[in-house]
Structure 1
Amino acid sequence: MDDITFVSRLEACTLAPEHFNHAGHVRLACLYLDRYPLDEAIARTCATISAYATHLGGANKYHATITVALVRLLHAHGPTVLADAPALLALHYSPALLAASASRAAFVPPDLAPLP
């Protein structure tokens, strides 16, 4: 599926769930980063993923802090940096902070090392 169709279907919540795995999240963020300034790319990525998760009945699966952090890391280092996203996040965030409901609902700055 081409990029325009992918984004359009995702934004309209008509994309089949099997097309939106981890690679789909990275693809979306990369496409937004290519089209928009960082802050807008982050906002669009968060809004699109959150809306899609809610549409699929998984609103509780969306994690704002992880989404923002990974988009920032992706912007700074490129997509290969996300090969081991959990280990990369662990450099910046303690498990307790990422497990907190506040960090799921809204972006929380890292407690271990600043994001780029």
Structure 2
Amino acid sequence: MDDLTLLAQVEACALDPSLFNHAGHVRLALACLHTASGDADLAAARCCAAIARYATHLDAADKFHWTVTEALVRLLAAGLHEEIARDARACLARHYSAAALAAPQARAHFVAPDLLPLPGCAGALG
């Protein structure tokens, strides 16, 4: 399945959940970036909305993490595809402390990084 089909199936809540793993998350983010012509703000909003809806549909809303998803979209928009594919956690750890990502508000909405700013992302640290 190509990335745009993956996006359509997630948005329609029709994707087999076994196909949505870390690689699927990255592919979905790339599809959102593609359809938004590289605009990280639009891509992040679409990707987060799609995954949140899909997770809710699967009765797994507690598994969705808004900040992680948006940060990954923004890092992918900055061209860090290989790094994200290899070790997304390490990429996130450069920008966010474990405590910041563990905070309940980071799951519910985007929280600015507390270590290093994300590329192309407005907003103060912390």
Unaligned stretches of 5+ in structure 1? Answer: none
Unaligned stretches of 5+ in structure 2? Answer: 120-126
SS of residue in 2 equivalent to 1:108: coil
Matched, 1:105 2:108: yes
CA contact (8 A) 1:11 1:48 kept: yes
Q: How does 1:40-51 map to 2 (within 5 A)?
A: 40-51=42-53
Cα 1:96–1:4 change in 2 (3 A) is: closer
Q: How does 1:15-94 map to 2 (within 5 A)?
A: 15-36=15-36, 37-82=39-84, 83-94=86-97
SS of residue in 2 equivalent to 1:43: helix
SS of residue in 1 equivalent to 2:78: helix
Aligned-partner residue type, residue 76 of structure 2 = L
SS of residue in 1 equivalent to 2:14: coil
Aligned-partner residue type, residue 32 of structure 1 = C
CA contact (8 A) 1:13 1:51 kept: yes
SS of residue in 1 equivalent to 2:100: helix
Quote how far apart the aligned CAs of 1:18 are. 1.2
Runs of 4+ in structure 1 deviating by more than 3 angstroms, as ranges, are none
CA contact (8 A) 1:29 1:41 kept: yes
Q: Deviations over 1:16-62 (max 9, x none)?
A: 01111111111111011112022111100000011111111110111
SS of residue in 2 equivalent to 1:107: coil
